[in-house]
Structure 1
Amino acid sequence: MTTFDDRKNAFEKKYAHDEEMLFKAVARRNRLVGLWAAELLGKSGSEADAYAKEIVLADLKLPGPDDVIERLEADLGARADAATIRAKLDELLPVAKAQLIAELDDQEG
């Protein structure tokens, strides 16, 4: 292999890794926002966990967060509007990324 091929393969691996991490971070964010919404709905324990899983699965229908926002808006009613839900999604993405990085560090260390 040439140096160019090595670099190309390295970039492809990095891109694949970055996309996988983004997918995991978005799924984690959706789980966290699902737990937040579950609390607003008065759910706790296993009921809250099950609801959070439903929110994660809701994101698999369409690209982007719109399907999650629509689901949460319908479920939460007057408790939170779309702007509040978007703000919570934005707030929780860095939290989800930090959790994933911490888990990777724990696995490596």
Structure 2
Amino acid sequence: MTTFDDRENAYENKFAHDAELQFKADARCNKMLGVWAADLLGKTGPAAADYISSVVTADFEEAGHEDVYRKLAADLDGKADEAAIRAKMAECMLEARRQVLEEI
């Protein structure tokens, strides 16, 4: 194997590793958002768990986080405005990344 092949493999491995970490952080962020929103909606027990799961799966509708925002905005109508939802999304993403990086 040449140095070029080694370098190419290293970049590919780093890309795959970074993508995996981002996926974990996104999923964890969405779970935190689901917990927050379930609390605002007064959901507890199995209803809260189902709602949290629905927030996590909402992220698979399209690339990016707008699909999660739209779900939260529709569900939290009157309980949280756009600024509050987006601020919570940013807060949860920072926390999720911190937690994922601590696990490495």
- What TM-score results when the alignment is normalised by the length of structure 2? 0.92
TM-superposed deviation, 1:12: 0.6
Aligned length: 104
User: Using CA pairs below 8 Å that are at least 6 residues apart, which structure has the higher relative contact order?
Assistant: 2
Percent identity between the aligned chains? 50
Residue segments in structure 2 that go unaligned for 5+ positions in a row: none
C-alpha offsets along residues 26-82 of structure 1, whole Å, 9 cap, x if unaligned?
111011001000000011233222211100101100111111111111111111122
> Is there any run of 5+ residues in structure 1 with no aligned partner, and where?
none
Q: Distance in 2 between matches of 1:49 and 1:69?
A: 19
Aligned positions of 1:41-80 closer than 5 A: 41-80=41-80
Runs of 4+ in 1 over 6 A off after TM superposition: none
Equivalence map 1:21-40=2 (5 Å): 21-40=21-40
Distance 1:2 1:43 in 2: 58
Q: Which residue of 2 aligns with 1:94?
A: 94
Question: As a proportion of its length, which structure holds more helix?
Answer: 1
- RMSD value over aligned CA atoms? 1.2
Other structure's SS at 1:60 match: coil
